[in-house]
Amino acid sequence: MYQRKRRLKVEAYVDGVLNGDKIILSKAITLVESTLESDHLIAEQVIEKILPHTGNSVRIGITGVPGVGKSTFIESFGKLVTSFNNKLAVLAIDPSSQRSKGSILGDKTRMSNLAIDPLAYIRPSAAGSSLGGVSTKTRETMLLCEAAGYNVIFIETVGVGQSETTVKGMVDFFLLLMLAGAGDELQGIKKGIMEMADAIAITKADGDNKAKCQRAQREYKNALHLFPPSENGWYPNVLTCSAIDNHGLMAIWEEIEKYSKEMKKNNFFFSNRQFQNVEWMHDIILYSLKQKFYSNKKIANSIITLEKDIKNKKIPAISAARNLLKEYQQT
Amino acid sequence: MYQRKRRLKVEAYVDGVLNGDKIILSKAITLVESTLESDHLIAEQVIEKILPHTGNSVRIGITGVPGVGKSTFIESFGKLVTSFNNKLAVLAIDPSSQRSKGSILGDKTRMSNLAIDPLAYIRPSAAGSSLGGVSTKTRETMLLCEAAGYNVIFIETVGVGQSETTVKGMVDFFLLLMLAGAGDELQGIKKGIMEMADAIAITKADGDNKAKCQRAQREYKNALHLFPPSENGWYPNVLTCSAIDNHGLMAIWEEIEKYSKEMKKNNFFFSNRQFQNVEWMHDIILYSLKQKFYSNKKIANSIITLEKDIKNKKIPAISAARNLLKEYQQT
């Protein structure tokens, strides 16, 4: 059942967020996630006001297939991060999931230790989409968290779909969690995701599994070696870790710190963020143009027919497209 | 100097193409490549009429960085293909190049032996774009060639840019040509291209270079082994070849034939083509919506200002996008 929530004034959101008030922060995120047009307008004003206070964080994307031990990793790694007195926000992006499917951050009980850490803020993924889709919602949430003083942001994805590209476009560092297997280590990881990684961490490197993980580490290092460095000159490293033994987590954190330092030195860190922000604007525009077209009912009906005609070779794709565009102009 | 070409009637194009008349085929392709709206309308009717006679070919994308020996490979491989009495059309896709830059199919002298082969048809890449961009032009050219009886199509790209994804979306088989180097085999090949390959051929495996190529072959096989098979169940193979010794070319052709056979058996060949055609329609639509927006002069001016404001954190990307969309609606 939808229950209309009471909204605060713009200033109340802004002040609360800037004061690091977790309750107001949560309310502001709910506002951002709302599908109501009236909420969008308030949200936009809030975002505009907090904007000068954003950006002072390292944004880390974390992905991996279900079973890789993502929750356990994030909890242990997150505790390490807050132990250095960092304020950590853990967000999730998952365009496909309804809250009930909940493979990802469905509830805070997954990370019960981190959830009660006063330096950590965990925000479960919400279903539904807004202007610019899930990506926009998560970006705005990230900005709110930064304005609230969180200087380390984790953005978690499931690692099997399109959402990784979206996350890659909003983070500074992209960490891929992998399982050691027997020759089939990459099963389940979509092609291309490995290439986006700034580091790979092989999880569950403890007990009997340790040797297998080290073997996998060597194999991945060799494989990655074949790929050229990114435009920023960074060569992704492959590490092993165990959330149970707390082994390797520090090395991962040091890797991220090294990355930030080097990328700030060569200015990639900042130019990349500027680039991401401009890209974001274009993403929203494209998304909106597309959504407006495809949500047009007459168009939607025509598409069904035309797709069939294309498959049956009754009409070339170009004529079908032209017909649809003509029809759209007349609506 | 632009010279207005005399156009034929729709039926003349259709009959000429269906009769395999190379001169009419070339004229029809010129029509397709034209930027004149009046030509588009004729072209569309021609394509619609020849459509039932298309599809009876194997469409092969061939890519590789400059220096890999692409022209030499295509010439030798093409001669092999026509020696089995296949009719071969060689097309090029290269959104970036002007004819003068001509790294790709700039002229037929590059492949002089193939150019005089009566079973081969070589079409140099033309500059300029049309509705749906270069991709649409190349797709239509491919359909015309098929209607003219060409049962093997090569689509060549330069292997350094975005065009590979476009080509992947219009071919049945994607062949990546690679050079054997010293650990840096992938330098110059954009990340992600290797993963699109249905086969990799290491070129120039002759003389002193042979051992190096075999070593590279083993390395690539190991690297590819780490990746999961495509949804169609195909594992890409790594082969070596020499256009000078004519070594390995037959094995590549057999690989493509094996692929076609298996993919026809499991129906992927056909379902993939249906999918590609429907995708093509959506590509054209998206391209047109985008082009219409960005070619709007008022919008173009506003974008320049807003991009600056975003970079200077004066305005959030979402507000900038919203402003632009509002402005666009009012034009």
CB contact under 8 A, B321 and A281: yes
Which residues of B, range 258-297, sit inside 8 Å of A by Cβ?
274, 277-278, 280-282, 284-286, 288-290, 293
* Distance (Å) of CA B298 to CA B147, B290, B294, B319, B324: 43, 15, 9, 17, 10
Residue A146 amino acid letter:
E
Three-class SS of residue A91? strand
Nearest of A134, A67, A71 to residue A97 by alpha carbon = A134
Burial A199-236 (b: 16+ CB within 10 A, else e): bbbbbbbbeebbebbeebbebbeebbebbeeeeeebeb
Q: Is residue B100 very low, low, confident or very high in pLDDT (cuts 50, 70, 90)?
A: very low
Report yes or no: B238 at the A interface, CB cutoff 8 Å.
no
Mutate to test the interface with B, among A34, A138, A272, A285 (most CBs of B within 10 A): A285
**CA distance, residue B220 to nearest chain A CA (Å):** 8
**Is pLDDT larger for residue B107 or for residue B202?**
B202
Helices (H), B202-241: 210-225
> Which chain B residue shows the shortest CA-CA distance from A46?
B316
Residues A66-80: what's their mean pLDDT? 89
Q: What is the pLDDT of residues B208-242, one digit of tens each?
A: 889 989 988 988 888 777 776 778 889 899 999 99
CATH 3.40.50.300 corresponds to the domain B54-266: yes
Q: Which residue among B140, B293, B324 sits closest to A318, beta carbon to beta carbon?
A: B140
CA atoms of A68 and A312, how far apart (whole Å) = 43
* CA geometry: angle A262, A268, A274, nearest 5 deg: 145
CA distance to partner chain A, nearest, from residue B114 (Å): 31
Q: Please give, rounded to a whole number of angstroms, the shortest distance from the CA of B46 to a CA of chain A.
A: 10
Distance CA B20, CA B30 (A): 16
Domain B1-52 has CATH 1.20.5: yes
In which element (H, E) is residue B329 found?
helix B317-330
What are the start-end ranges of the E strands in B220-328? 237-240
Looking at the partner chain, which of A219, A288, A321 has a beta carbon nearest the beta carbon of B285?
A321
Q: Does A127 touch chain B (CB under 8 A)?
A: no
Contact A223/B223, CB-based, under 8 Å? yes
Chain A 4-43, CB below 8 Å of chain B: which residues?
none
Look at the block and give the residue holding tokens 């092989």: A202
The answer to whether the CB atoms of A222 and B220 lie below 8 A apart is no
Which residues of chain B lie closer than 8 angstroms to A186, CB-CB? 226-228
- The predicted structure's pLDDT at residue A46: 95
What's the pLDDT score for residue B7?
Answer: 86
Q: What's the pLDDT score for residue A325? A: 94
Cα atoms in the 13 Å half-sphere on the side-chain side of A261: 6
Report the C-alpha dihedral over residues B237, B242, B243, B244, rounded to 10 degrees: -170
**Band of residue A160 on the pLDDT scale cut at 50, 70, 90:** low
Closest-approach residue (CA) in chain B for A320: B281
Q: pLDDT value at position B125?
A: 62
Residues 6+ apart with CB under 8 A from A22: A121, A148
Written in H, E and C, the secondary structure of A278-303 is HHHHHHHHHHHHHHHHHCCHHHHHHH
SS3 of B240, please? strand
Query: Does the pLDDT value for residue B13 go beyond 80?
Result: yes
Residues B235-291: pLDDT tens digits?
A: 899 999 998 888 999 999 999 999 999 999 999 999 999 999 999 899 889 888 988
Amino acid sitting at position A326? K
Higher per-residue pLDDT: B253 or B195: B253
Asked whether the beta carbons of B224 and B216 are under 8 A apart, the reply is no
* Contact between A226 and B191 using a beta-carbon 8 Å cutoff: no
- Listed by number, the residues of chain A in 63-122 with a beta carbon closer than 8 Å to a beta carbon of chain B are none
Partner-chain contact B184 A228, CB within 8 Å? yes
DSSP state of A235: P
Residue B130 is predicted with a pLDDT of: 40
Chain B contact present for A185, CB below 8 A = yes
Q: Are B167 and B61 within 8 A, CB to CB?
A: yes
- CATH code, residues A1-53: 1.20.5.170
Of B225, B310, B320, the CB nearest to A183: B225
pTM: 0.71
CB pairs under 8 A between A and B: 165
C-alpha span between A282 and B318 (Å, rounded): 9
Whole-angstrom Cα distance, residue B255 to residue B163?
A: 24
Which one is predicted more confidently, B306 or B37?
A: B306
Q: Which fold has domain A54-265?
A: Rossmann fold (3.40.50)
The model's confidence at residue B1, banded by pLDDT at 50, 70 and 90, is very low
Distance CA A131, CA A280 (A): 12
Q: What is the mean pLDDT of chain B?
A: 84
For residues A253 and A248, what is the distance between their CA atoms, to the nearest angstrom?
A: 9
CB burial of B149-171 (b: ≥16 within 10 Å; e: otherwise) equals bbebbbbbbbbbeebbebbbbbb
Rounded to whole angstroms, what are the CA distances from B258 to B62, B167, B234, B261? 17, 21, 10, 5
Say yes or no for a CB contact (<8 Å) between B286 and A284: no
Q: Does any CB of chain B come closer than 8 Å to the CB of residue A47?
A: yes
Q: Does A130 touch chain B (CB under 8 A)?
A: no
Q: Which residues of A touch B270 (CB under 8 A)?
A: none
Contacts of B321 in chain A (CB under 8 A): 131-132, 281-282, 284-285, 288
ipTM of the complex: 0.75
User: CB-CB: which of B136, B188, B321 is closest to A285?
Assistant: B321
The amino acid at B64: G
Residues B172, B272 contacting (CB under 8 angstroms): yes
Instruction: Count Cβ atoms within 10 A of the Cβ of residue A84 and give its class: 0-12 exposed, 13-18 middle, 19 or more buried.
Output: exposed
User: DSSP labels for B128-184?
Assistant: ---TTHHHHHHHHHHHHHHHTT--EEEEE--SSSTHHHHHHTT-SEEEEEE---SS-
Alpha carbon dihedral A40, A45, A51, A57, in 10-degree steps, equals -40
Give the closest residue to A148 by CA, choosing from A61, A91, A89, A90: A89
Return the residue of A nearest to B46 by Cα.
A316
Q: What is the dihedral of CA B216, B219, B225, B228, to 10 degrees?
A: -70
Question: What is the distance between the alpha carbons of residues A105 and B181, in angstroms, rounded to a whole number?
Answer: 45
Rounded distance between C-alpha atoms, residue A85 and residue A17, angstroms? 19
Max alpha carbon distance in chain A (Å)? 67
Q: CB B317 to CB A284 under 8 A?
A: yes
CA dihedral B38, B39, B42, B43 (to 10 degrees): -140
- Chain B residues whose CB is inside 8 A of the A178 CB are none
Convert the pLDDT of each residue in B148-172 to its tens digit: 999 999 998 865 555 777 788 899 9
Whether chain B has a CB inside 8 Å of the CB on A326: the answer is: no
Rg (CA), chain B: 22
Residue A276: its H or E element? helix A268-294
Q: Are A9 and A16 in contact (CB under 8 A)?
A: no
d(CA B124, CA A1): 62
